[in-house]
Amino acid sequence: MNYLYLDTVTSTNDYAKRNIDLISDKTVVYTSNQTKGRGRFNRLWVDLGQENLFISIVLKPSLNFNNSYSCLTQYTGLKLAQTFVEYGVTPNIKWPNDILINGKKISGILAETVYKDRVLKGIIVGVGINLNANEEDFAKIDKAVTSLNIETNSEIDKNTFLKSFINIFSEDYDAFLQKGFLFIKDDYEKYINFIGKEISITNINDKFTGTAEKITDDGAIVISGKKFYTGDIL
């Protein structure tokens, strides 16, 4: 992986999209100061200070879209969970794009595909990670959130965490592209805890409630017999 550090940026994903032709495959664009970070459906990602990480991994696996690419969010979630385990905590994956610790969000993922003239220019996997924060920082956020320093009772070196995560991400990346979600399914399922429970899922304006039955071989979730590829679990 190559690394590109930015002192300040509105959004690492937006920067990567604007400069996609200039950024090489397997480049990690990262910053500690992101002024207009966003999550899925253009939700605001709140900046908790410069000891946290905002990352965009620029990937250019081919000029055409492969089905395995649609599960890069799940792949990244698994690799983040495995990184958190190295710090002695127990993460859970909230399908498809959040990591929770003790029921509180610590990381979110936003994958975006860039096309120009029907040619796949790249896939940008954005990751926001709460590494160091104070309890009072969370007052500005209307959801249950946490940070790694709070969960471990120790300050986290953001550069050490970044390198560990990228190393873990890189280990199986090429094999995942070839084999798809089924290659990581068993490991992925170790980090989910909602199977068999009643959950609700929203997708833009629609909401569906039922029992979470399984994760399919292509990374979707089945709720009371209905299959979802996108959505937010409530």
Q: Is the pLDDT of residue 221 over 90?
A: yes
Question: Quick one: average pLDDT of 129-136?
Answer: 89
In this prediction, residue 185 carries a pLDDT of 98
- Give dist(CA 119, CA 157) in Å, integer: 39
158-197 pLDDT, tens digit per residue, is 999 999 999 999 999 999 999 999 999 999 999 999 999 9
Instruction: Determine contact, residues 198/211, Cβ cutoff 8 Å.
Output: yes
71, pLDDT greater than 50: yes
In this predicted model, what pLDDT tens digit does every residue of 195-207 receive, in sequence order? 999 999 998 778 9
Query: What is the DSSP annotation of 139-189?
Result: GG-SS-B--HHHHHTS---HHHHHHHHHHHHHHTHHHHHHH-GGGTHHHHH
Going by pLDDT thresholds of 50, 70 and 90, the confidence category of residue 46 is low
State what percent of residues in the chain have pLDDT above 70. Answer: 94
Q: Residue range 226-230: average pLDDT?
A: 93
- Categorize the per-residue pLDDT at 61 as very low, low, confident or very high, splitting at 50, 70 and 90: very high
Beta bridge pairs of residue 109 = 127
Q: Is the overall model pTM greater than 0.85, yes or no?
A: yes
Q: What would you report as the CA-atom Rg of the chain, rounded to the nearest whole angstrom? A: 17
pLDDT, tens digit, for every residue of 76-131? 999 999 999 999 999 999 999 999 999 999 999 999 999 998 899 999 999 999 99
DSSP state for residue 38 in the 8-state scheme: B
